[in-house]
Amino acid sequence: MSVRKLKPITPAQRFRVVNGFDAITTDKPEKSLLAPLKKSGGRNSQGKMTMRYIGGGHKKRYRIVDFKRNKFDVEATVDSIQYDPNRTAFIALLVYADGEKRYIVAPNGLQVGQTVISGSNVAPEVGNAMPLSEIPLGTIISCIELRPGQGAVMARSAGTFAQLMARDGKYATIKLPSGEIRMVLTACVATIGAVSNSDHQLIVSGKAGRSRWLGRRPRTRPVVMNPVDHPMGGGEGRASGGHPRSRNGVPAKGYRTRSKTKATNKYIVERRKK
């Protein structure tokens, strides 16, 4: 993994840092695993804007990614590592022994030609998927299920990973990327290794236009709004804006919004760090 700093031949390129894409092996996606992706522009079925700051962006096609890894005990060979415009991580194209092809979120260090497998009695090697009951303690994992058979929902973005801390009965204790320590059923499946493209955090877009290409419209700061639009709006001149809070008046810094009566609170051993 590497990043490239460009020569400042234009104002936008002066600060731009781009991904080296060393891990990418092909620019042609697998046609059978592509699906159309419709843009909403932040509008609902009535055409009313329900999400601000969304619109435009380059046309994309969705890559159907296998988050469940439920093709057990069948070996697969890594055919290629590819870029996915719908996520920060890279994806890997697997070709199974029976000829089926599937995309998975590529873990760091996965190489073309490598063999991966998912199941109970498999080796805890990078790219393999296995239940938490089988993974050795202290292992770095990613793409973790929250409920058995649900498919991976935690630690899926570029460079993220969790760590398996302990096991007690039917629950495993996992330290998540946010710092939260949480109990998850040992029947849930996770992938060995951290997620690829860890250099994503070093990338600098360089210009506003690149955000527009990604479908993000300009965001209006609350301080410059009118009082009717935001609690932090209004005031003579450049008013500081008062206490930082959301449009609905919910405090923004340090205020806990998680319900104290939520049923899943009992699974959280330690809250995430502030």
Question: DSSP secondary structure string, 12-45?
Answer: TTSS-EEE---S---S---GGGEEE----TTB-T
Residue 61 main-chain phi, psi, to 5 deg: -120, 140
pLDDT band for position 241 (cuts 50, 70, 90): confident
Q: What is the mean pLDDT of residues 66-74?
A: 97
- Candidates 97, 33, 89; CA nearest to 71 is 97
pLDDT reported for residue 3: 93
Sole residue written with tokens 């493209």: 197
Domain coordinates of the chain in residue numbers?
Answer: 3-201+263-270
For residue range 224-236, list pLDDT tens digits in order: 999 999 999 999 9
For residue range 114-143, list pLDDT tens digits in order: 999 999 999 999 999 999 999 999 999 999
**What span, in angstroms and rounded, lies between the C-alpha atoms of 1 and 20?**
7
Number of CB atoms found within 10 A of residue 118's CB: 24
What does pTM read for this prediction? Answer: 0.93
Residue 194 has pLDDT above 70, yes or no: yes
pLDDT band for position 1 (cuts 50, 70, 90): low
- Candidates 81, 97, 273; CA nearest to 195 is 81
Q: Does domain 3-201+263-270 have CATH number 3.40.50.300?
A: no
For residue range 80-124, list pLDDT tens digits in order: 999 999 999 999 999 999 999 999 999 999 999 999 999 999 999
Question: DSSP secondary structure string, 140-192?
Answer: EEESEESSTTS-EEES-STT--EEEEEEETTEEEEE-TTS-EEEEETTSEEEE
